[in-house]
Amino acid sequence: MAHIDETKVARIMESLQKLEFGTVVISIHEGNITQIETTEKVRFALEKKKAALPKQKMG
């Protein structure tokens, strides 16, 4: 097992703590962490559309 750099682990943990929705991808090359990618997703609450009321006939 390769030596784990505590600085890199701290960065990964920081990325995870900041993220509410999304992904963290950790790239490994020859047993070493070489890259961390964070993709954040922002979710918006859906507004329900009100159904149109039928028009009343006059007369």
- Residue 36 within a domain: yes
User: In which band, very low, low, confident or very high, does the pLDDT at 3 lie, cut at 50, 70 and 90?
Assistant: confident
Name the residue with tokens 């009321």: 53
Q: Is residue 56 part of a domain?
A: no
pLDDT: is 53 or 28 the higher one? 28
Which structural domain, as residue segments, surrounds residue 29?
6-40
Looking at the 3D structure of the chain, how many domains does it have? 1
pLDDT at 25 over 90: yes
Distance CA 38, CA 53 (A): 46
Residue 29 pairs in a beta bridge with 32
